[in-house]
Each structure stands twice: as C-alpha cells, then as structure tokens.
Amino acid sequence: MSNLDRRPAARELGGLEGTAAGPALDLLPGKEVLLGESTYVRRLLPTLGRRMVGAWAFVDHYGPDDIADGAGMQVAPHPHTGLQTVSWLLEGEVHHRDSLGSDVTFGPRELPLMTAGLGIAHSEQSPVSHPRFLHGVQLWVVLPDAVRDMAPVFEHHAALPGFTSDGVTATVLVGELGGARSSATAHTPLVGVDLELTPGADVEVPLDPAFEYGVLTSTGAAEVEGAPLTTGAMLYLGTGRRTLRLRGGATADGRPTRLMLLGGEPFEERVVMWWNFVGRSGEEIAHYAEQWNAESDRFGAVVGYDGARLEAPPLPPVPLKARGRER
C-alpha cells in the first residue's frame, strides 16, 4: 500500500539508541490512521515510542473490512525507494502491478515481496470480483546503504515454508524460524513469521538473542510472556531472548489467534523516511519527490492501471535533515 497522507511527517529512523539492551515487554497500542477517504488502518510502526524493529520500519494492520458492496483497496500508482514492501493478507485478494511489468493477484499465505532499490512504482487494487473481507498487514523493510541503489526486483512466493507443532502453525515469510527458512530475499539479518495458535495453546518458539523482536496480534487475542495482547496491538520484546512463550486466547468465532512475529538485527544506519521514500537525507528525498512528480524514468510506468497516478505531496516546510543525535 501507499502512505496516502497528504501531509506526511518526515521520520528519522535507525541508530541503536532505541534498542533495548535486553528483554523488554513494551506495549505499542498503535494509532488509527485514515488512508484515503474511508479506510482506517492501525499503524504500529513507526510510533511515538518506537521507530524500528530490526530493519522493519513500517507496520500497518488493516481490516477485516467488509468490502462486498465496494471497490475495496484502490491504491493508484505510486513510487518507493530504499525499502522492501512485504504484503501479508489474512483474508481477501489484491492485484499488484508494477513498473517492472509484474501483474500478480495474490491471496492469503502468499508473499509478494517488492524490493524498490533505486526506484519502482506500483498499484494495488482489490480485483473487480473479490472476496467479501479484506484483512492484512502491510510492512516495509529498510534497505542498508550497500544495496539501496540496486535495481528493483519483484518476488512472488506462492508457497512459504513453516511447521506445525502442539497448537502452533508457523509460516515463515522472511528469514528462519525453527529450522524453516524462507527463500525471500533479505538484505539484513531479519525474520518475519505468521503464527497461528489454537485457542488455549501454550507454546514456546525459539528466538535469536542477537535480534530485537516485536509481535503483533492480527486476529484474536494472545498472551505473550504472560502479557495480554489484544487484536491490532504490538509488543516490543527487546533483545537477548532465546525463546518466546505464547498462549492462544479464545476468539469470538472460534477461529485461531494469528500473530505476526517480526525481528532482526538492530538497524544501525540512520535514514529518513517520508511519504513512500526512504533515503539518507532530506535533499535526497526531495529529489525523489521531484523526479516522481516529473514522471522521471527512475520509477518507470505501471502499465495497465486505469486512472491517474498519486502525486507526491508537498514537502514539509522545514527541510528534512538526518540529525546527528536521536532519542
């Protein structure tokens, strides 16, 4: 998806000051954000309290929305730089087109992974004939300096690895958990896993003590290390953990609880994130925005989309600068 805010804030991300030196259990309740005219999402990252978890820099949880009588998701062509988009559906279908010529409709448990590198454009739409409910998590991963100017790549992983044991089913989107390793391309040590817990399941999953982690409840409710976690909320777990204890709560309709476990090596580089761009300075971001609005070849064109592109909003009045020091 796109950041559809017409006055998006510039965020300075990265650096190690915000990384817990050991285990933490900080609740990130998220914030309701209006996307477009009528779609609300819960933004878990970045928030006032936390900017990143590993290289994960953006997490929106949306739905389930009943789109039976509407068009559903309609995000016009827009650009990205310096990041990867990870789209995860719990219900529904999305039609992705991009300036590489990718034209893919994906559903639950499939991973479309778009690496923007130096620049890409894409559109995302609910198909004309679509399932009744749309429910998912949209995530961005910051690319490290060494590869951020790489040529863009789109990967569609229709089958993902995972495992089932004692009330938990793990699906590994990115990285590795419990011996199941995804073939999705990651450019920093990173993990992203969907965990489905049967009601009352009481399980431990293995973690890497060098990673920092966060866990989000996308469906139902859970207990994470004894702390209750309701739908749409996230816990920051810090570093230094070797295991994570999870209990599945009861859901109203008897469906399993779904969690998303995100982790990675703390991201040390300092970056600037504004609208749909990640760069290293305000000047760079301003240049990306000018190039997009001028229809530069940097981003290419999305062929087949019927409608206008999203224009980059006006840059904030204060120049974007990566400051030397951050909280």
Residues found near Mn ion in the complex (CB under 5 A) = 2
User: Least Å distance between CB 297 and Mn ion?
Assistant: 19
Q: What share of the chain is helix, strand, coil (3-state, %, to 5)?
A: 5, 45, 50
CA-closest candidate to residue 287, choices 277, 317, 57: 277
The C-alpha atoms of residue 18 and residue 21 are separated, in whole angstroms, by: 9
User: Least Å distance between CB 145 and Mn ion?
Assistant: 22
Backbone angles phi, psi at 112, to 5 degrees: -85, 125
User: Least Å distance between CB 86 and Mn ion?
Assistant: 11
User: Least Å distance between CB 247 and Mn ion?
Assistant: 34
Cβ proximity to Mn ion, 58 vs 267, nearer residue: 58
Cβ proximity to Mn ion, 2 vs 239, nearer residue: 2
Cβ proximity to Mn ion, 2 vs 219, nearer residue: 2
Structure tokens at 246: 């999870």
**Minimal CB distance residue for Mn ion:** 2
What length is written for the chain?
Answer: 327
The C-alpha atoms of residue 272 and residue 280 are separated, in whole angstroms, by: 5
Cβ proximity to Mn ion, 2 vs 102, nearer residue: 2
The C-alpha atoms of residue 98 and residue 76 are separated, in whole angstroms, by: 11
Query: Coil, strand or helix: which one is 145?
Result: coil
The C-alpha atoms of residue 182 and residue 185 are separated, in whole angstroms, by: 8
Cβ proximity to Mn ion, 96 vs 241, nearer residue: 96
User: Least Å distance between CB 141 and Mn ion?
Assistant: 13
Cβ proximity to Mn ion, 37 vs 166, nearer residue: 37
Q: Are 208 and 263 in contact (CB under 8 A)?
A: yes
Q: Are 302 and 97 in contact (CB under 8 A)?
A: yes
User: Least Å distance between CB 119 and Mn ion?
Assistant: 12
Amino acid at residue number 206 = P
User: Least Å distance between CB 281 and Mn ion?
Assistant: 22
The C-alpha atoms of residue 75 and residue 98 are separated, in whole angstroms, by: 12
Query: Coil, strand or helix: which one is 123?
Result: strand
Cβ proximity to Mn ion, 2 vs 231, nearer residue: 2
